[in-house]
Amino acid sequence: MKISIIGTGYVGLVTGVCLSEVGHHVTCLDINPEKVDMLSKGISPIYEPGLGDLMVKNMEAGRLSFTTSHILGLKEADVVYIAVGTPQGSDGAANLSYVYQAARDIGRNITRDVVVVTKSTVPLGTNHKVKQLITANLEGNHCVQVVSNPEFLREGSAVYDAFYGDRIVIGADCPEAAAVIEEINKPFGIPVLKTSISSAEMIKYASNAFLATKISFINEIANLSEKVGADVAEVAKGMGQDARIGSQFLKAGIGYGGSCFPKDTSALVRISEELNHDFHLLRSVMEINENQKTVLVEKAVERLGSLEGKRIALLGLAFKPETDDMREAASIAVAEKLMELGAEIIAYDPVAAENAQRILPEGVLFAAQIEEAVKDADVVFILTDWKEIVEKALILSSLFMKNPIIFDGRNCYTEKEVKKYNVEYVSVGRMPVI
Ligand code: NAD
């Protein structure tokens, strides 16, 4: 069975590499020639632990190849995965133009019966439209079945998640097509949940919306904890020990970002509006998150007064550790706000700096080393809890700063740890350490 994957972003590339690792023959297709050029040379265009080595291994084994040609990429395919982006459109809904273009490309280029698998996160009803578009563009009399197979990988541990995910959801109206996708995934040994196409589409949005809700909930508890003198880390621990609640996604901080939660919550609110349903809860989750992104700046203003001319080191720029993805990272909102207030920013990220340079406001300076960022800074902000940053921020601040003060948006340290250093420390949902 020959598999083609349309889109070689975080999802498409990881899917292609991992499917080839378990023995399938995979061709990955992308319209971006620079990406395909890099990939063909064995260089991963994205930072994802373990991905590069696995990619090269399977290219060398002759199971994995890359192309920009729709003809070459699709003509021999028995199964085609759609893994193109579905970014947020200006109206808040998912922009489906890439998915629809991929569907047209499939219709025009396949030469046999195929099962088309939608990995991209798409609103309810999209898979039916995908099937219509493919069928309308078919050049031969081929049978096309469409399966919804939403992706649950986490950037930063995407390869691990492909092999050890909690479940594989296969949404199909045709049992034979579902069986084909189940068979392809058998080597991963992950439990499979078979559903209707609509349920599969909903599972993905509902899962992301629920996780975003957990984060905004604990952030509201954090804001309240500060007012009553409670410690949100202790509160979250106590809540998380209740098996009904669970401890994951209960870490207070400066909110969620990334390529999924912001756009998927927004898309679900738009889907609801189109169905004349007011998803009040989710709208609040989004609003809380927007406000949460700048709480550290507010704390800094409260503590230091004007930030005009202050040199502020931003440690960590990616939306989370172990990724170079800057999409909707909290660092963007923080940097914009600080620039507005006249601060001078020196930013550091061990991996995402190159992407950040394209996204952060003009005038932000970049440090090649964490030491360079902290040296001569008036204030340190921790925005992403990369291991290197957690290990070094306290000690470097105490060594290099005149009046060491850290505003920590990821609650990296306990009071006990901070007290070993001569550093003033302000975090989220806990009392400052002075
Ligand atoms: P991405 O932006 O990193 O990659 C998309 C790729 O598709 C790009 O390389 C682009 O050039 C390519 N592309 C666009 N149109 C194409 C076409 N017609 N033919 C060939 N290639 C085309 O996106 P991503 O982060 O991998 O996300 C893909 C989908 O998966 C989205 O719907 C997203 O919501 C979903 N998803 C993402 C994650 C994640 O963590 N990134 C997790 C789960 C689900």
Segment-wise mean pLDDT, segments of 10 residues, the chain, 434 residues? 96 98 98 98 96 98 98 96 96 96 97 97 96 95 97 96 98 98 98 98 98 98 97 98 98 96 97 97 98 97 97 98 96 98 98 97 97 97 98 97 97 97 97 94
Q: Do 180 and 51 fall within a single domain?
A: yes
CATH number at residue 353: 3.40.50.720
Q: Which residues of 301-329 are buried (b: 16+ CB within 10 A; e: fewer)?
A: eeeeeebeebbbbbbbbbbbbbbbbbbbb
Q: In angstroms, rounded to a whole number, what is the distance separating the alpha carbons of residues 159 and 181?
A: 19
ipTM exceeding the 0.90 mark? yes
Distance between CA 412 and CA 427 in Å, rounded? 9
Q: What distance in angstroms lies between residue 220's CA and the mean position of ligand 1's atoms? A: 32
User: Cβ(172)–Cβ(194) under 8 Å?
Assistant: yes
> How far is 287 from 43, CA to CA, in rounded Å?
39
DSSP state of 304: H
Q: Hey, which residues does 312 pair with through a beta bridge?
A: 345, 379
Residue after which a domain boundary falls, among 152, 173, 195: 195
Domain around 397 = 293-426
Domain count along the chain: 3
Q: Scan for tokens 């019966």, then name that residue.
A: 113
Over residues 122-156, the pLDDT tens digits come to 999 999 999 999 999 998 899 999 999 999 999 99
* Pocket flag, ligand 1, residue 31 (CB < 6 Å): yes
Atom of ligand 1 nearest to the CA of 46: 3
What pLDDT score was predicted for residue 124? 93
User: Same domain for 235 and 358?
Assistant: no
- The C-alpha atoms of residue 400 and residue 250 are separated, in whole angstroms, by 33
> Are 254 and 105 members of one domain?
no
Please give the pLDDT value at position 199: 98
Question: Which atom of ligand 1 lies nearest, measured to the CA of 32?
Answer: 11
Domain identity same for 124 and 176: yes
pTM for the whole structure: 0.96
Spatial CA neighbour of 122 closest among 264, 270, 291, 325: 264
Residue 9 tokens read as: 């972003």
Minimal-distance CA residue to ligand 1 atom 27: 85
What distance in angstroms lies between residue 120's CA and the mean position of ligand 1's atoms?
7
Domain assignment of residue 432, yes or no: no
Q: Is the CB of 155 under 6 A from ligand 1?
A: yes
Determine whether the shortest distance from the Cβ of 328 to ligand 1 is under 6 A. Answer: no
Q: How far does residue 400's CA lie from ligand 1's centre (Å)?
A: 42
Q: What is the pLDDT of residue 378?
A: 98
Token duo for residue 433: 């350490």
| Residue 190 placed within a domain | yes
Ligand 1 probe mutation, 6, 11, 51, most atoms within 8 A of CB: 11
**Is 431 inside any structural domain?**
no
* Residue 434 included in any domain: no
User: Ligand 1 center to residue 6 CA distance, Å?
Assistant: 9
Known catalytic membership, residue 260: yes
Q: Which of 164, 195, 226 is the last residue of a domain?
A: 195
Tell me which residue of 85, 60, 57, 68 sits closest to 27, measured CA to CA.
68
Closest Cα to residue 318, out of 88, 97, 10, 4? 10
Q: Angle at the Cα of 5 (from 96 to 104), degrees rounded to 5?
A: 45
Q: What is d(CA 328, CA 383) in angstroms, rounded to the nearest whole number? A: 13
- CA torsion sign for 133, 136, 137, 140 is positive
**Ligand 1 binding pocket includes 151 (Cβ within 6 Å):** yes
275 and 412 in a single domain? The answer is: no
CA–CA separation, 267 and 378 (whole Å): 40
Helix (H) or strand (E) holding 32: none
Q: Is the CB of 66 under 6 A from ligand 1?
A: no
Of the residues 18, 28, 143, 260, only one is catalytic, namely 260
Total Cβ atoms within 10 A of residue 140 = 8
Read off the DSSP letter of residue 94: B
pLDDT of residue 1: 87
pLDDT of residue 195: 98
pLDDT of residue 140: 86
pLDDT digits (tens, 9 = 90+) for 274-289: 999 999 999 999 999 9
DSSP letter for 352, please.
T
Whether residue 42 sits in one domain with residue 14: yes
CA of 424 to the centre of ligand 1 (A): 42
CA 84 to ligand 1: nearest atom: 7
User: CB–CB of 216/285 below 8 Å?
Assistant: yes
What CATH number has the domain bearing residue 233?
A: 1.10.1040.10
Instruction: Among 30, 157, 264, say which to mutate for ligand 1: greatest number of ligand atoms within 8 Å of CB.
Output: 30
Tell me, yes or no, whether 287 and 329 share the same domain: no
Residues 262 and 131 in one domain: no
Domain boundary among 243, 273, 291: 291
